[in-house]
Amino acid sequence: MTLRSTLLAAGLAAGIALPASAQSVLRVVPHADLRTLDPVAVSVVITRMHGLMIYETLFAWDQSLTPQPQMVDTWSVSDDQLTWRFTLRDGLAFHDGKPVTTRDVAASLRRWMSRDTVGSRLGDALASLDIVDDKTFTMVLKRPFGLMTYALGSAVGQIPAIMREEDARTDAGTPISTTVGSGPFRFVREQWMAGQRVVYEKNLDYRPRSEPPSGLAGGRVVKVDRVEWRNIPDASTVAAAMQAGEIDIWEQVATDLVPVVSRQRGTVVDRLNTLGTQGMLRPNSLHAPFNDPRARLALAYVVNQADAMAAGFGDERWWKRCGAFFVCGTAYASEAGSDAYATPNIERARSLMAEAGYRGERLVFVTTNDIPWIGRMAEVVAAGMRQAGMNVDLQYNDWGTVITRQPRKDPPDQGGYNLFVTGASGATMFHPLTNIGTNMSCDGRNWAGWPCDEEAEKLRAAFIDATNDADRKRIAEQLQRRLAEMQPYIVLGQADVPYARRANIEGVLAAPVMVFWNVEKK
């Protein structure tokens, strides 16, 4: 250990805040304020980023989205594909000093399986989860589940974060407020200022894997002492702070400022990954009129992807049109069934709304300007809806309010809603197992909006149960056609949300979400 790290460790142990000059501090402006600390209770991206800072998962997706072992050392599966055996790697310890055991793993996985879309699929196939000893456990299945390691490394939705047993025993619908993980960073609660600042410090006791980093997998080597998330709502202020060197990374650059930031000396604007983000218009399928698939299809006829994408992301080099639910340019991409509404048809939309029984009732459309591209795309969609005779009430809230409102199932006139615009990473949406929007389960446990269609779910189950990729691709196209009819959400196109960093920042990894291990300040 160097003299500097020895002094840092001593200062932290004594509860002494060392001066900034003694620390390497990475200052980041994230896309949203952190409101919820539990990455199993909610599927919000900012909470997932927080979760990956302080927790680990059994497996992790590499840059190609292939699962690799993370907390797991060795694993095996029986010849009949029904019994999986896992052994944890050495050196896993929580931030409170207690070792990670299989009791923590079992409780964490059960909580995740009760909450998450991917987890529930694994849970449906699970016969038993058995502890062999403190480091080894088995999962016995009712039927083969070929996507086991992919699921256990999930970086989408509610992630399978391994928590302490006492925390993981909390009901999955109740967000926990503790933040004791085993990951490469520690959450500094006493310096957390909601709406202003979130602080993480390097976990000096963390033992990273020996493999080189790739995506979320490999060695999570922390190269700074401290990471500070600064909540700065005004984009112009962030741009000025970047130019002055007061901010090191801007996670999502405001679209209209991309040209400005790109010209700043000492600033680099780049893409985080090649799959980008899928824009989505999500109708609430619980309440009229969008409980009728004809009304949801009407929205598809209203949407002009080019207008929506240009409003949200500006220059076309940052976006493209795409009618595929499973993301253009990926293994399961198909635009089958989308030709009919590829070009807007306002009269067809008006006719479909009438067939669905719509008579001009107020439609509550919740949105935000905190994330500028969301608000701008919502405005374009709302304008098209009004052309088709829809009575749109576009309500602006801060993003924290929008995401806490999304899970509410109340009628729109009682605090609920009819529609919202959002986006999800291509890493989330390219795969039928993880695409949160295409889960049309009729049990009400799917993502906010709660569309229900048994035929789509049969196809999705067939995809998950398929034993080879040729069958998966064939079924994915069938599923795409059904989704084009049922419209669980309306695809608004694909975009690269650019991020900016100072030129002295190196090591940002291409991953489903931005992470801060491997990042260093030169």
Q: Using CA atoms, how far apart are residues 311 and 373, in angstroms rounded to an integer? A: 7
How remote is the C-alpha of 160 from its chain's centroid?
13
* 3-class DSSP assignment, residue 90: coil
pLDDT at 267: 96
Residues 202, 206, 209, 210: what is their CA dihedral angle, to the nearest 10 degrees? 80
Nearest-CA neighbor of 252 among 515, 520, 514? 514
pTM for the complete prediction?
0.79
Q: Using CA atoms, how far apart are residues 96 and 506, in angstroms rounded to an integer? A: 31
Residues 340, 341, 342, 344: what is their CA dihedral angle, to the nearest 10 degrees? 130
Residues contacting residue 15 through CB under 8 Å, at least 6 positions apart: none
pLDDT at 15: 39
Q: Ramachandran region of residue 461, left (φ > 0), alpha (ψ -120 to 50) or beta?
A: alpha
Residues contacting residue 81 through CB under 8 Å, at least 6 positions apart: 141, 144, 145, 146
Tokens of 376: 């701008």
Nearest-CA neighbor of 159 among 400, 451, 425, 440? 425
pLDDT at 148: 95
Helix (H) or strand (E) holding 9: helix 3-13
Angle at 40 between CA 469 and CA 464, to 5 degrees: 15
pLDDT at 5: 38
Backbone phi and psi for residue 19, each to the nearest 5 degrees, phi listed first: -65, 155
> What ranges make up the beta strands (E) of 83-184?
83-88, 126-131, 136-141
Residues contacting residue 458 through CB under 8 Å, at least 6 positions apart: none
pLDDT at 50: 98
DSSP code, position 449: T
Tokens of 332: 């399961």
The DSSP-derived string for 299-317 is HHHH--HHHHHHHHH-SGG
Q: Using CA atoms, how far apart are residues 402 and 81, in angstroms rounded to an integer? A: 43
Give the β-pairing of 136-141 and 126-131: antiparallel
Q: What domains are defined for the chain? A: 34-177 (3.90.76.10), 277-495 (3.10.105.10)
pLDDT at 22: 63
Q: Using CA atoms, how far apart are residues 54 and 56, in angstroms rounded to an integer? A: 7
In a 13 Å sphere around the CA of 488, the CA atoms on its Cβ side amount to 28
Nearest-CA neighbor of 35 among 26, 44, 25? 44
- Indicate the residue type of 400: G
> What ranges make up the beta strands (E) of 368-517?
391-396, 419-425, 490-495, 499-502, 505-506
pLDDT digit string (tens) for the chain, length 522 residues: 333 333 344 343 333 444 545 689 999 999 999 999 999 999 888 999 999 999 999 999 999 889 999 999 999 999 999 999 999 999 999 999 999 999 999 999 999 999 888 898 899 999 999 999 999 999 999 999 988 999 999 998 899 999 999 999 999 889 999 999 999 999 999 999 999 999 999 999 999 999 999 999 999 999 999 999 999 989 999 999 999 999 999 999 987 899 999 999 999 999 888 788 999 999 999 999 999 999 999 999 999 999 999 999 888 888 999 999 999 988 899 999 999 999 999 999 999 999 999 999 999 999 999 888 999 999 999 999 999 999 999 999 998 899 889 999 999 999 999 999 999 889 889 999 889 899 999 998 889 999 999 999 999 999 988 878 899 999 999 999 999 999 999 999 999 888 999 999 999 999 989 999 999 999
Long-range contacts at 107-110 (CB < 8 A, ≥ 24 apart) = 107/163, 107/165, 107/168, 107/169, 108/40, 108/160, 108/161, 108/162, 108/163, 108/165, 108/168, 109/152, 109/160, 110/168
SS3 string, 34-56, reads CCCCCCCCCCCHHHHHHHHHHCC
The β-bridge partners of 198 are: 229
For residue 52, CA distances in Å to 37, 70, 112, 171, 509 come to 11, 12, 15, 21, 13
Give the β-pairing of 249-250 and 25-29: parallel
Q: Using CA atoms, how far apart are residues 422 and 497, in angstroms rounded to an integer? A: 13
